[in-house]
Amino acid sequence: MHALLIHGMGRTPLSMLVLARRLKTAGMQVDIFGYSATFETWNGCCRRLRSRIERIGDRPYILVGHSLGSVLIRGVSPQVAVPPRACFFLAPPACACRAARRLVSWRLYRWLNGEMGQLLAWTDFMAGLPVPSVPIKIYAGTGGPVGPWSPFGDQTTSQRFFSGFFVPSVIPSRGAVP
C-alpha cells in the first residue's frame, strides 16, 4: 500500500516525517507532497497534487492530509482517475475557518498565506468543495485553546471543524483499511 502525505498551511514536509516513518515501519511505501501556500495558487497546487497522485498509477494508495492538506485532497479527489482506498484527515477545516475569516483582512495574513489561506475564509468556497466518495477517517481533538483569549471563543475543536458538516463515510478506528 502506498501513502501520500500532504502537510498543512504554514508547515513543511518536515512536519510529516514522524508519521511517514511510522507508516514505513508498518510496511507502507510513503511519499510526502510539499507546497507553499505563500507562493502557489490554489489551481497550480491542485494540478501538481493531481499529477503526483496520477504517478502512483493503479497501485492501491491512501491520502493523508493535515488541515489545508485535507482541503487540497477534497479539491482534487473528483479529478483523479484511480481513487484512493481511503482518506485520513488530520484536523481538517470542513467549513470556512473562523480564524481565517477574522485575519483575512490583515495584509500580513494575506501575504504569508497567499490565495489558499484566503480561500479558507470563504464560506462558498469551503461549502463547494467535494467530499471524497471513499472511506474517510477524521482525526480532530477536543482540546485546544478555548475562552475569551482564544480566536475560537468557547467552541471546542470538534465544534469548529464539523458544525453543519456531514461526513459521508467513516472507517472504523481499529482494523485494516479496506
CATH assignment of 2-162? 3.40.50.1820
For 88-135, how does the pLDDT look when each residue is reduced to its tens digit (9 = 90+)?
Answer: 999 888 887 777 888 888 899 888 888 898 888 889 999 999 999 999
Task: Give the pLDDT of the chain (178 residues) as one tens digit per residue.
Answer: 999 999 999 899 999 999 999 999 999 999 999 999 999 999 999 999 999 999 999 999 999 999 999 999 999 999 999 999 999 999 888 887 777 888 888 899 888 888 898 888 889 999 999 999 999 988 876 556 666 766 556 655 444 444 444 444 343 333 344 3
Query: Measured over all CA atoms, what is the biggest interatomic distance in the chain, rounded to whole angstroms?
Result: 50
- Domains of the chain, residue spans: 2-162
Residue 39 C-alpha cell reads as: 507562493
Average pLDDT for the chain = 83
Cα-based distances in Å from 127 to 57, 143, 156, 162, 173: 30, 25, 21, 12, 26
